């Protein structure tokens, strides 16, 4: 094992029982810091995800002069500086592994009139950024990338931005959000039309901070020049993190697990719909609204799953949950087919190829396609799987151990902390036979 690496070692079998609350929603945590920093007044956030990605966003705004207290036990207090109160940082803003931070900040900072550089780690620096910088350039932004269209991003001050009406070529909440956030600083109206619905946390939270956003069908519009008013935000538990436990309890005989206070945003709940189509037993209890976001408790019990053809309209509603869903497919009877998910190839890793490679190690027939995968359900064996530093790959294969016939070693798991600090401890408490080995 490499120096400074983290591996998961798992014994086969077990079931998941009891009740637990997974950490706060990463998407909402990012946006709470961004909008709270630019609001007038003091915003208080509870349930903030203290993972590496959202902490990178927090540090970036501290570096631009925002006074932020916390995080302490998920509580953060933001003393907003107003729409034009950010100061130039001392050096580049290092966003670590967080693609959300980089893409959203590219939009939010494009019209600030500041000279800024956004950098990240090797993984983030290999991810495509032109899908964001090109529409921002149409608005008048000046953002340089490398010749390959990747980070670092150099943002140059411009006189002003102007609104555009942009049709997204591919459904992407990050690109949509970047354009809308730039639109806050643009003259006139900025509109984005989506080919399919994507997560709408940006629109919901802008409204929560008192900024009018108009949605009609798949078109979202706002007018620049307004202001944000401080508010309090209670971040629900992240459905993307809950997804691993939804899959684990579904595939492991004897499981009966309650997941508390999970965000049930209708643009994010595709994982529940897909698992139910496969035959999963998931109950939604105590559904209510917190700060404009629906939340509920989810009770999931073991059920025999069957392979399905995943409806393409559900793909954007479950884009981050597919590594976990591939494990469900491996344990299902028959064939599962995914199409229309080419975005999975440009995440923290090529999630289609990396999951296919790992499933094959465990004895499952998995055939990658350009925009998806075909998985034949079967009997999982043991072995060594490489996560390629991708947090969701690591957690997905950890759940596979519940149905494996031999022990599993998952290599390169340190990045699990980006979205789910304390994953191994929480999973062990629920019944997963997991140990963490540090190099």
CB-CB contact of 33 with 61 (8 Å): yes
CB-CB contact of 410 with 431 (8 Å): no
As a whole number of angstroms, the distance between CA 121 and CA 9 comes to 26
A 10 A CB-CB count for 180 gives 25
C-alpha dihedral, 375 to 5 to 1 to 400, nearest 10°: -30
Residue of 94, 320, 390, 412 marked catalytic: 320
**Block residue for tokens 């001392």:** 90
Q: What is the per-residue DSSP string for 63-84?
A: HTT-EEEEEETTEEEEE---TT
- Cα separation of the two ends of the chain: 6
CB-CB contact of 68 with 107 (8 Å): no
For this structure, is 320 an active site residue? yes
Interacting residues of 408 by C-beta distance below 8 A, sequence separation 6+: 8, 9, 10, 12, 362, 382, 383, 384, 385, 397, 398, 400, 401
As a whole number of angstroms, the distance between CA 264 and CA 270 comes to 10
Burial of 431 (0-12, 13-18, 19+ CB in 10 A): buried
Catalytically active residues are 320
């Amino acid at each position: 094992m490499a120096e400074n690496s983290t591996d998961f070692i798992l014994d086969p079998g077990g079931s998941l029982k009891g009740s637990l609350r997974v950490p706060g929603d990463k998407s909402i945590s990012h946006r709470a810091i961004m909008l709270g920093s630019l609001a007038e007044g003091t915003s208080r956030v509870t349930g903030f995800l203290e993972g590496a990605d959202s902490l990178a966003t927090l540090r970036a705004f501290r570096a631009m002069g925002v006074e932020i207290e916390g995080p302490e036990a998920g509580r953060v207090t933001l003393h907003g500086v107003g729409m034009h109160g950010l100061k130039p940082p001392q050096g580049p803003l290092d966003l670590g592994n967080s693609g959300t931070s980089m893409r959203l900040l590219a939009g939010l900072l494009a019209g600030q009139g500041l000279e800024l550089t956004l950098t990240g780690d090797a993984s983030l620096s290999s991810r495509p950024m032109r899908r964001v910088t090109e529409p921002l350039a149409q608005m008048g932004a000046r953002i340089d990338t490398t010749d390959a269209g990747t980070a670092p991003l150099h943002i140059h001050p411009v006189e002003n931005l102007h609104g555009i009406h942009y049709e997204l070529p591919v459904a992407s909440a990050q690109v949509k959000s970047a354009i809308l956030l730039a639109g806050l600083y643009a003259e006139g109206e900025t509109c984005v039309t989506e080919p399919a619905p994507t997560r709408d946390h940006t629109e919901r939270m802008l409204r929560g901070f008192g900024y009018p956003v108009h949605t009609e069908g798949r078109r979202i519009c706002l007018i620049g020049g307004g202001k944000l008013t401080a508010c309090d935000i209670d971040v629900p538990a992240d459905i993307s993190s809950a997804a691993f436990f939804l899959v684990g309890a579904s595939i492991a005989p004897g499981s009966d697990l309650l997941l508390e206070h999970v965000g049930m945003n209708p643009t994010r709940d595709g994982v529940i719909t897909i698992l139910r189509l496969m035959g999963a037993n998931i109950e939604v209890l105590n559904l209510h609204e917190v700060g404009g976001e629906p939340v509920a408790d989810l009770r999931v019990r073991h059920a025999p799953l069957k392979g399905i053809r995943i409806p393409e309209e559900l793909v954007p509603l479950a884009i981050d949950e597919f590594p976990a869903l591939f494990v469900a497919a491996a344990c299902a009877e028959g064939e599962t087919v995914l199409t229309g998910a080419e975005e999975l190839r440009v995440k923290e890793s090529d999630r289609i190829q990396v999951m296919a490679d790992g499933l094959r190690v465990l004895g499952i027939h998995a055939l990658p396609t350009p925009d998806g995968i075909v998985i034949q359900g079967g009997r999982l064996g043991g072995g060594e799987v490489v996560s390629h530093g991708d947090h969701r790959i690591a957690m997905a294969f950890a759940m596979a151990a519940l149905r494996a016939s031999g022990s599993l070693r998952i290599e390169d798991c340190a990045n699990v902390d980006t979205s789910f600090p304390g994953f191994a401890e929480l999973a062990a408490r629920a019944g997963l036979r997991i140990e963490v080995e540090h190099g």
